[in-house]
A and B are shown apart, each in its own frame.
Chain A
Amino acid sequence: AAGVIQSPRHLIKEKRETATLKCYPIPRHDTVYWYQQGPGQDPQFLISFYEKMQSDKGSIPDRFSAQQFSDYHSELNMSSLELGDSALYFCASSARTARADTQYFGPGTRLTVL
């Protein structure tokens, strides 16, 4: 079965640079979520999109922005990177029409900021 695809899998950036992470949801899933997970921490919700519209915001820094495109893929844009942004970034997708919110997670993008 098709799964959530994230690219790149690994990314190394310098402080103050920008990064773009991409997420391709499972086909026919209309909702995308982004999470950040620091070393030894639990996943922190950043933002979600439903049918290409922002749905909810969590602890997403103002330096980050995201959007969902017409083909339902999503991109997380991160600017003025800081050392503390080094983390695993997960994308998850779900089907809004489902009776319960079952999210399927991608393998993650490991971002290292030097």
Chain B
Amino acid sequence: LAKTTQPISMDSYEGQEVNITCSHNNIATNDYITWYQQFPSQGPRFIIQGYKTKVTNEVASLFIPADRKSSTLSLPRVSLSDTAVYYCLVGGPNTGGFKTIFGAGTRLFVKA
């Protein structure tokens, strides 16, 4: 399973764009990169997933460079409600089976 490294915490202000980078140097060929968001006392919520280049949905964008050893979650124009913990996970059904390791996520604080 690929180990991931993220910043422990980040601060931002409402309306700003926030970029959270995750390092995964030993990502395997078949691994996907998935980001989850978690609010206190709630289950993690799927945000976005990608394999390479760029993926965008209604919530966020995910940028993955050609070597795939890192990825950046981009949250456009954050609001107070985006204050949460963000987790980057690397893996897939063909690698590591069904064992998921949550590393230390990034605690994002959005201020007014």
Contacts and interface: CB of A to CB of B under 8 A. Distances in A.
A88 B38 CA distance: 13
Contacts of A107: 42-43
A87 B12 CA distance: 30
Most buried by A among B91, B92, B99: B99
- For chain B, which range describes its interface: under 10, 10 to 19, 20 to 34, or 35 or more residues? 20 to 34
A50 interface: yes
**Closest 6 A/B residue pairs (Cβ):** A105-B43, A100-B32, A56-B99, A48-B98, A55-B98, A43-B102
Interface of B: 32, 34, 36, 38, 41-46, 49, 51, 85, 87, 91-93, 97-105
Q: Which DSSP category, helix, strand, loop or mixed, fits chain A's interface?
A: strand
- For chain A, which range describes its interface: under 10, 10 to 19, 20 to 34, or 35 or more residues? 20 to 34
Interface string A20-43: 000000000001010100000011
Interface of A: 4, 31, 33, 35, 42-45, 48-50, 55-58, 88, 90, 92, 94, 96, 98-108, 110
Contacts, number: 76
Contacts of A99: 32, 92-93
A43 B93 contact: no
A54 B76 CA distance: 40
